[in-house]
Structure 1
Amino acid sequence: MRTAELLSTAHVGAGDEVVVPSYATAATAEAVRDTGALPVFADIAPQSLCLDPASVSRAITARTVAVAAVPLFGHPVDLAALQRAAGRTVLVLAPTDPTDGAEEGEGEEGVARRRANAAYLDARLTGVTPVTAPGILHRYHSYVVRVPGNGRPDRDAFARALLDRGVRCRVPVQTPVHRLPSFRRELWLPETERAAGECLALPVDAGTSRRELQRLVAACNALGGLLPAAAA
């Protein structure tokens, strides 16, 4: 069920507030606004990039009726923790967001292949840091890593260098939703800002060949995870 349908089922409407992630596409916040409710942005947990229960708890007000928890990149949300943070009277939603990268009609064979590709990278990458919480069953719609350094110039230079070497990559979230003109809020969400400046998505889809993975590892490790902006 899509976000708009879930919000309708929960009877979200004018005067209500719904806590949403800013580290995502604008789709969830737009769906909330379309109901007449106000999207309220919370920060993310650094290991999962999903909503941080502690930040959600701080965002709850008397008008909060729901928390829209987006399972980004195939990483499941911690619904139990969000329920505890939100309180008994708040419905926690788990809509699919376009940023999640889920493929239509995906089968478990494809998921298994992505997990195998991710495991290959986990064991060999030294120039970047994979983003995943321990002990979870990740579906790896995207394999997201952090490029260590001083923020976006380093990450973007690193991405350009990978592309020059024939390695597919993309910045998963260019601008947090709370900084978009249509949703601008005077907020400081430190983990959201950090992820927007450091994260990069690398290919682990089922069609990625072993040769591509080897080229990816060689390029990332050779670059070392840090490039000055002028280097690219």
Structure 2
Amino acid sequence: MIPMVDLKTQYHQLKEEIDAGILAALDNTAFVMGPNVQAFEKEAAEYLGVKHAISCANGTEALHLALEAAGIGPGDEVITSAFTFIATAEAIRYVGAKPVFVDIDPRTLNITAAAIEAAITANTKAVMPVHLFGQPCDMAAIQAVAERHGLKVIEDCAQSFGASIAGKQTGSLGLAAGFSFFPSKNLGAYGDGGLVTTNDDAIAAKVRVLRNHGSEVRYYHDVIGYNSRLDELQAVVLRVKLKRIEQFNAGRRHAAHLYSELMAGLPLETPFEDGVGVHVYHQYTLLSDRRDAIMAALQQAKIACAIYYPVPLHQQKVFAADCQGLSLPNTEAVAARCLSLPIFPELSDEQVREVVAVIREALAA
């Protein structure tokens, strides 16, 4: 059996350090906003090359807090991708704004500057590019459009921790950004966790107040905020893993490149790296007209696989009222053909070859 992600193997490799850190945190008994949370924020800011890294409860909350701190609210429109997890659009809805979905590039699977510019209206106030599956968007082009039209850029980095463009980390390129530490992420906790990054002092100050019940001084509340804090024990895990993120991402890239090398010439499309940035392969997603046959063969061989995402957001019932008649051909075609294979730092060459052998046999049938 080959899983989508092997958290158990990774835990056993890190067990001694993680267990010691958790036991020390338990003994210290500073469970909320404790020293590990503070240390992780400092270490994450240094790694990502940002002035401020503010932890929170999860990735959805990170996007929500970033949008609210940036002043996005009712009546505003935020342009984003329809080919992403619903959290991207949920966060926009949480602040009372309207997500405006645009089509993706059929190779990078990310939104483009041209698609963004074509969707701008008088109500557009922000753009939320999603660095999908770990492939950075073309941020220089997107920023140029945003600057021309006076739009704020909030990056969705839920899948791109460690991805970079010209030496700059995703999460350091817009006004603010949101990261997720869901266990399967490139940098994953052992539960939920999130992070807001920004170089803007005012945005950072607002996020810190909003995540903690609207309070800067205990029991004094200036605004209605949220209970959105990273758990101390999760911070212990994240600190251990952050030291190894380059190694982890290198392992993912090695496995991904071996997949693509071994599947060259097969009647399917392997992930495209546009060379604009460094792809960190949160998912390894291929495109095939014979997806169902490949899935059935993998499942028969006890190899995990998944469809991210079978129904684009503009076709979801919850957004039906806003998206009547909206056609996004590239998004719809990709959703009908995409399939994600196992990918994690510890994936062996032998396991990659086993997965590809099953796919090759399925396509030959």
- 1:134 lines up with 2:194 in the alignment: no
Residue-by-residue CA offset, 1:135-186 (whole Å, 9 max, x unaligned): 1311011111111x2xxxx323321221112222111101101111111212
AA of the residue aligned to 1:84: A
- TM-aligned CA deviation for residue 210 of structure 1: 2.3
Counting only pairs closer than 5 Å after superposition, residues 120-199 of structure 1 correspond to structure 2 as 120-125=258-263, 126-127=265-266, 128-135=268-275, 136-147=277-288, 149=289, 154-184=290-320, 185-186=323-324, 187-199=326-338
Residue-by-residue CA offset, 1:53-80 (whole Å, 9 max, x unaligned): 2111111101101001111111111111
AA of the residue aligned to 1:173: Y
> Contact conserved, 2:294 with 2:363, CA < 8 A, in 1?
no
- Match of 2:5? none
AA of the residue aligned to 2:152: L
- TM-aligned CA deviation for residue 44 of structure 1: 0.8
- TM-aligned CA deviation for residue 111 of structure 1: 0.5
Gaps of 5+ in 1: 228-232
Distance 1:219 1:103 in 2: 29
- TM-aligned CA deviation for residue 98 of structure 1: 6.5
> Contact conserved, 1:131 with 1:144, CA < 8 A, in 2?
yes
SS in 1 for 2:273: coil
Residue-by-residue CA offset, 1:88-131 (whole Å, 9 max, x unaligned): 40011112347984332451111111111111112111433212
State which of 132, 151, 170 in structure 2 corresponds to 1:90: 151
- Match of 1:8? 68
Distance 2:115 2:157 in 1: 21
Distance 1:85 1:64 in 2: 12
Distance 1:116 1:110 in 2: 10
> Contact conserved, 1:79 with 1:92, CA < 8 A, in 2?
no
- Match of 1:218? 357
- Match of 1:77? 137
Q: Higher Cα Rg: structure 1 or 2?
A: 2
> Contact conserved, 1:144 with 1:200, CA < 8 A, in 2?
yes
- The TM-score with structure 2 as length reference comes to 0.57
> Contact conserved, 2:269 with 2:286, CA < 8 A, in 1?
yes
Distance 1:206 1:222, change over 3 A: same
- TM-aligned CA deviation for residue 9 of structure 1: 2.2
- Match of 1:116? 254
AA of the residue aligned to 1:211: E
- The TM-score with structure 1 as length reference comes to 0.88
SS in 2 for 1:94: strand
Q: Give the total of aligned pairs.
A: 221
Distance 1:116 1:196 in 2: 26
Distance 1:166 1:10 in 2: 46
Q: Please, which moves more after superposition, 157-166 or 32-41? A: 157-166
Gaps of 5+ in 2: 1-53, 55-61, 161-179, 189-237
Distance 1:93 1:77 in 2: 12
Distance 1:142 1:130, change over 3 A: same
AA of the residue aligned to 2:287: R
Distance 1:160 1:47 in 2: 25
Distance 2:338 2:300 in 1: 18
> Contact conserved, 2:297 with 2:359, CA < 8 A, in 1?
no
> Contact conserved, 2:80 with 2:128, CA < 8 A, in 1?
yes
Residue-by-residue CA offset, 1:3-56 (whole Å, 9 max, x unaligned): 112101210001100001110111111111111111110111112111122111
- Match of 2:121? 61
Distance 1:134 1:34 in 2: 33
Distance 1:182 1:204 in 2: 31
> Contact conserved, 1:27 with 1:98, CA < 8 A, in 2?
no
Distance 1:109 1:141 in 2: 14
> Contact conserved, 1:167 with 1:212, CA < 8 A, in 2?
no
> Contact conserved, 1:17 with 1:39, CA < 8 A, in 2?
yes
